[in-house]
Amino acid sequence: MKAKQTGRDIEDRYAWKLRLIKQLYDRRKPKAEFVALFNFIDWVLDLPENLEKRIEREILEIEEEMNVDYVSTIERRAEARGIALGEAKGEARGIALGEAKGEARGIALGEAKGVARGIALGEAKGEEKALRATLETLLRARFDVLPPWTLTRIQEATVVDLNAWIPNCLLATSLEDVFETKDHT
């Protein structure tokens, strides 16, 4: 709703985005919920690059003050790479679709849809890559040397699996315990 209300008033959009992000930090949600809400706010209230960098600096200050790190450096880098890849592929797909239709309207619509889809795919891939890296790092810290089967399991896992296994690293007494899934139904 604020995205619509702020429309083209970029400074107002910036202020609302910062206000919502600060409120999100104040609520101290579990990391998965925080990241999902943060990504939604970031997507809906998009800003020009110079203001995005300003928001990033504000976020780093908030995290230092509150001594939290909800969005890790690995996640930020993976997400940035995912977005960049998604944008490039989306723009290329959008241009191709637009040119095929041969209309100015087709180009504009194709680019917008392609970019949006590319960004979404890029973000999803970036998140997945970050989760894999996080799990592998936690396992190496906990169990030192990892047998090949664990790396294969991590690479073949779904996002749901990865999100289930990461917390298991904290209490597991063996690698097998980490990959055990519990049915809570």
pLDDT digits (tens, 9 = 90+) for 93-124: 878 777 777 676 766 777 778 878 888 778 87
Rounded Cα distance, 70 and 76, in Å: 10
State the average pLDDT over residues 54-78. Answer: 73
In the chain, the number of structural domains is 1
Residue 87 belongs to a domain: no
Give me the mean pLDDT over the 33-53 stretch.
85
Q: For residue 12, is it within any domain?
A: yes
Does 27 map to a domain? Answer: yes
Burial (CB count <10 Å: 0-12, 13-18, 19+), residue 61: exposed
Across the range 9-18, mean pLDDT stands at 89
- pLDDT surpasses 60 at 126: yes
Q: What residue type is 132 in one-letter code? A: R
- With a cut of 90, say whether residue 153 has pLDDT above it: yes
pLDDT at 42 over 50: yes
pLDDT of residue 134: 92
- For residue 16, is it within any domain? yes
Residue 55, domain member (yes or no): yes
Distance CA 99, CA 152 (A): 42
Has residue 95 been placed in a domain? no
More confident residue, 134 or 64: 134
Label residue 131 by pLDDT band (50, 70, 90): very high
- Tell me, yes or no, whether 14 lies in a domain: yes
Q: What is the pLDDT of residue 6?
A: 62
User: Looking at the domain assignment, is residue 125 inside a domain?
Assistant: no
For residue 29, give its domain range.
Answer: 1-71
